[in-house]
């Protein structure tokens, strides 16, 4: 492919707003990172997800059209099986792809790798919620055309996605052929060489129905093992010269609308493709009924029109950004990145249903499309405060799958409910016991998310309908799993905490403290809702047992070193040989046996530090400072989950430059593809963690008391930080500068007020009466903690922007 030199390219969109803080751009220079771009440009609405592939489908890193919860099942094989090993695992599979619009110019297919690109740019607009494409291409035969497209997945309309596409002949008339496809069973590349990659199931969809009417079509397929049915309809609006002919072809795995004819110079052909998706269990809606539903949805979208859908998308995002936006007056790239992260969090879930958010959202097939503890641990703590309805839906999804969690607990000879480490349909899908079944803390993470959501919203209806039962069943798990030893303490043994380089340990501090929060939170909720608790079979003796266990939870501490142990005995293990570990050896899990990792003081991701973030009242300020220094030197951040809690604690103890650099690593995880894994989907937990690094780290926000508390402190490289929180139905706006903190209720009616803490002072914030307080000086925290050699985050602080 020949490329016109950048300096000679014409401006693509001279009318574009110059504010790049709301736009992500990719050009021809990014073709070598095509899979990464597809993830970054993915669009979804919590139900339908389209990866950001090119309209013509080539080049392509990994195609993907996802429906939340739509999957196929596969067998899990073991060299040597064992009791209660999962025998089946769920894997996300792609629904039929309605994004494809292919073009031939004088029988030469459009391919940006051939011919000459006069201009090529794609833009993700974070305010409009669309991906726009601008390409001027000259075929190898010398024919010049201009391709423009806009793609959206509708936030207001759950089933609907739209591609608005056009081609224009530039210098002379050309022979054109356009194929608008709906394609099932696309080939997905198999990355079997990477043990972290998704499993690939070839041809997962079996055709059941296909039909066409005019320029429209619908395909219905089913999966065999998971017994799910998916239907996709496309409805077209075509604007073309009279000379252009239209034909339709419909087969079991493909519907195709083809346009052929001569396109005179200066004329254009435009088509808008309205797609509608739905899925259901095979024993639910039949194939014809499901087909009729999506056909009606596609027809309704076409009747509404693309411009109206575009306006509705902007209106929905304007409302969302009112609360979600963060203003960061420092590094323009990081301002753009935090908005990018929030955009993907906002479009990952829906408030009008009972679906949750997979670890990669609907942006790729990484982790097989599974839901992990990332959702409750990193994503819901953000959505609870910026989009609480979405958090509510995700927690209702957990409640919906409570029967499977009870069955899993019974299979494991445990009490209460044991939620899966990895899942799509509610069953355990992790075949790796130490970091799967033993990661029991997922149950406390779910309880923590319930407590946080109810505390922030006051949603007693949710607590009565779903939240209390989740708290009760997880409390029963901990009460039955732990035991009181001869020392009188309540011990939780044989578990894996957040750090997956330490497996099957005793008294992991994070797990123990989160179990304590679970037990106490369940007891408090039972006493608030005694009638509901009675229906769940809870009696006073059981509640008393929970409280006694919580009070007796053992928290290991190393008196000699003056630090908490990540788990009992951790600080007595051999140190990792960092001096003989090269940069090429990271991530360690790809170069060292787990047997070696398990025996050494090397931490994959924040564990003890995460415990201090989640349970801040369990540690003194001095303990936090010593713990941060000790574990910073041993944490290698081989997980994208690590940087954000490290940033929060580094900020709290006063190492603001380190905190800023860790925040930058978290927020740039995907835009810079720091872990070389963005190609199989975005790291939503890292993007959520970046918000936590700003709001909990520099904003100093904590929610473990009756009132919100703020202990803000800004590094020198941030001139101003502003963010919003939803608190009991009100929008609280916080604006921080180096001199002062301002708290206000910008939307509240007269008489509305909330109370909060600012650096230990209780404040009342009322409608029309902002509270403004000075920012106290940051205490001297001493020397910055050391990091493992070569593992300090890239320096972005100290004026380097």
296-330 per-residue burial string, b: 16 or more CB within 10 A, e: under 16: ebbeebbebebeebbebbbebbeebbebbbbebeb
pLDDT at residue 321 in the model: 98
pLDDT at residue 635 in the model: 98
CA-CA distance, 645 to 611, in Å (whole number)?
9
- 500 a catalytic residue: yes
CA-CA distance, 379 to 689, in Å (whole number)?
8
**pLDDT tens across 747-782, in order?**
988 889 999 999 999 999 999 999 999 999 988 999
| 373 appears as a binding residue in the annotation | yes
Taking 50 as the threshold, does the pLDDT of residue 6 lie above it?
Answer: no
**Selected catalytic residue, list 376, 500, 618, 665:** 500
| 273 appears as a binding residue in the annotation | no
| 478 appears as a binding residue in the annotation | no
Homologous superfamily of domain range 2-305: Glycoside hydrolase, family 65, N-terminal domain (2.70.98.40)
pLDDT at residue 431 in the model: 87
Mean pLDDT of the chain: 94
Taking 60 as the threshold, does the pLDDT of residue 509 lie above it?
Answer: yes
Q: Tell me which residue of 288, 287, 223, 213 sits closest to 255, measured CA to CA.
A: 213
Q: How many percent of the chain have pLDDT more than 70?
A: 96
pLDDT at residue 434 in the model: 86
Taking 80 as the threshold, does the pLDDT of residue 13 lie above it?
Answer: no
CA atoms within 13 A on the CB side of 484: 9
pLDDT at residue 10 in the model: 37
pLDDT at residue 749 in the model: 87
pLDDT at residue 195 in the model: 54
**pLDDT tens across 563-610, in order?**
999 999 999 999 999 999 999 999 999 999 999 999 999 999 999 999
CA-CA distance, 370 to 375, in Å (whole number)?
10
The burial of 558, by beta-carbon neighbours within 10 Å (0-12 exposed, 13-18 middle, 19 or more buried), is given as middle
Radius of gyration of the chain (CA): 27
Tokens of 425: 């349909």
The mean per-residue pLDDT over the stretch 536-544 comes to: 98
The mean per-residue pLDDT over the stretch 355-376 comes to: 97
pLDDT at residue 20 in the model: 86
- Which H or E run contains 690? helix 684-692
On whether the CB atoms of residues 474 and 519 are closer than 8 A, the answer is no
The mean per-residue pLDDT over the stretch 394-401 comes to: 98
**pLDDT tens across 39-54, in order?**
999 999 999 999 999 9
Number of other residues whose CB lies within 10 A of the CB of residue 9: 17
**pLDDT tens across 472-492, in order?**
999 999 999 999 999 999 999
Q: What is the DSSP string of 2-41?
A: EE--GGGSPPS-TTS-S-GGGEEEEEGGGGGGHHHHHHHT
Taking 80 as the threshold, does the pLDDT of residue 801 lie above it?
Answer: no
| 331 appears as a binding residue in the annotation | no
Taking 80 as the threshold, does the pLDDT of residue 647 lie above it?
Answer: yes
Domain residue spans of the chain: 2-305
CA-CA distance, 800 to 761, in Å (whole number)?
35
On whether the CB atoms of residues 478 and 582 are closer than 8 A, the answer is no
User: Which residue is listed with tokens 């269990």?
Assistant: 281
């Amino acid at each position: 492919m020949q490329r016109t030199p950048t300096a000679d390219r014409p401006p693509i969109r001279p009318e574009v707003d110059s504010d790049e803080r709301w736009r992500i751009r990719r050009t021809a220079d990014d073709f070598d990172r095509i899979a990464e771009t597809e993830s970054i440009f993915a669009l979804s609405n919590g139900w339908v997800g389209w990866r950001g592939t090119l309209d013509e489908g080539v080049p392509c890193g990994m195609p993907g059209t996802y429906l939340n919860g739509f999957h196929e099942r596969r067998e899990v094989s073991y060299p040597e099986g064992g009791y209660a090993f999962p025998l089946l695992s769920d894997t996300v599979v792609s629904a039929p792809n309605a994004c494809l619009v292919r073009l031939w110019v004088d029988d030469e297919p459009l391919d940006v790798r051939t011919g000459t690109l006069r201009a090529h740019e794609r833009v993700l607009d974070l305010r409009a919620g669309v991906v726009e494409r601008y390409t001027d291409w000259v075929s190898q035969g010398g024919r010049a055309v201009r391709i423009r497209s806009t793609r959206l997945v509708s936030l207001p309309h759950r089933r609907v996605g739209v591609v608005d596409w056009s081609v224009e002949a530039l210098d002379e008339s050309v022979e054109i052929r356009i194929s608008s496809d709906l394609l099932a069973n696309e080939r997905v590349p198999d990355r079997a060489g990477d043990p972290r990659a998704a499993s690939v199931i070839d041809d997962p969809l079996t055709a059941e129905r296909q039909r066409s009417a005019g320029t429209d079509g619908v395909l219905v397929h089913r999966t065999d093992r998971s017994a799910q049915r998916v239907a996709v309809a496309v409805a077209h609006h075509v604007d073309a010269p009279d000379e252009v002919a239209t034909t339709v072809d419909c087969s079991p795995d493909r519907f195709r609308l083809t346009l052929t004819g001569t396109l005179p110079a200066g004329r254009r052909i435009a088509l808008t493709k309205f797609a509608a998706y739905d899925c259901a269990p095979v024993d639910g809606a039949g194939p014809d009924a499901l087909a009729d539903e999506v056909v009606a949805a596609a027809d309704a979208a076409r009747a509404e029109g693309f411009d109206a859908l575009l306006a509705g998308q902007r209106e929905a995002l304007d409302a969302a950004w009112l609360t979600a936006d963060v203003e960061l007056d420092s590094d323009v790239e990081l301002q753009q990145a935090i908005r990018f992260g929030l955009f993907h969090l906002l479009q990952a879930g829906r408030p009008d249903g009972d679906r949750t958010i997979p670890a990669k959202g609907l942006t790729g097939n990484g982790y097989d499309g599974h839901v992990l503890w990332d959702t409750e641990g990193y994503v819901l703590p953000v959505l609870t405060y910026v989009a609480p309805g979405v958090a509510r839906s995700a927690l209702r999804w957990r409640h919906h799958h409570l029967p499977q969690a009870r069955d899993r607990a019974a299979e494991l000879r445990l009490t209460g409910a044991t939620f899966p480490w990895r899942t799509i349909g509610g069953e355990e899908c992790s075949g790796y016991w130490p970091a799967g079944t033993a990661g029991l803390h997922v149950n406390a993470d779910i309880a923590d998310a319930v407590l946080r959501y109810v505390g922030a919203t006051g949603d007693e209806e949710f607590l009565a309908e779903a939240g209390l039962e989740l708290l009760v069943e997880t409390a029963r798990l901990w009460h039955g799993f732990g035991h009181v030893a001869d020392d009188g303490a309540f011990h939780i043994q044989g578990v894996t905490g957040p750090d997956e380089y330490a497996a099957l340990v005793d008294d992991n501090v994070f797990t123990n403290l989160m179990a304590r929060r679970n037990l106490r939170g369940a007891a408090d909720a039972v006493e608030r809702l005694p009638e509901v608790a009675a229906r769940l079979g809870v009696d006073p003796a059981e509640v008393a047992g929970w409280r006694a266990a919580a009070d007796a939870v053992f928290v290991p501490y190393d008196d000699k070193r003056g630090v908490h142990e990540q788990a009992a005995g951790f600080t007595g293990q051999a140190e990792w040989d960092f001096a003989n570990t090269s940069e090429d050896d990271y991530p360690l899990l790809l170069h060292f046996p787990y047997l070696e990792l398990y025996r050494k003081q090397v931490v994959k991701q924040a564990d003890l530090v995460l415990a201090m973030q989640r349970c801040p009242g369990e540690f003194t300020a001095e303990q936090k400072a010593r713990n941060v220094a000790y574990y910073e030197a041993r944490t290698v951040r081989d997980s994208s989950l690590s940087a954000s809690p490290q940033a929060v604690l580094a900020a709290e103890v006063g190492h603001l430059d380190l905190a800023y650099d860790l925040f930058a690593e978290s927020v740039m995880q995907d835009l810079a593809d720091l872990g070389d894994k963005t190609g199989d989907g975005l790291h939503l937990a890292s993007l959520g963690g970046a918000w936590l690094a700003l709001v909990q780290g520099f904003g100093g926000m904590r929610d473990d008391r009756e009132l919100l508390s703020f202990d803000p402190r800004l590094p020198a490289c941030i001139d101003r930080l502003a963010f919003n929180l939803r608190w009991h139905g009100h929008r609280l706006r916080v604006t921080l500068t180096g001199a002062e903190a301002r708290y206000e209720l910008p939307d509240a009616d007269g008489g509305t007020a909330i109370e909060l803490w600012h650096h230990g002072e209780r404040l009342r914030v009322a409608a029309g009466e902002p509270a403004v307080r000075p920012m106290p000086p940051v205490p001297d925290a001493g020397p910055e903690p050391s990091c493992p050699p070569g593992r300090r985050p890239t320096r972005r602080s100290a004026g380097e922007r």
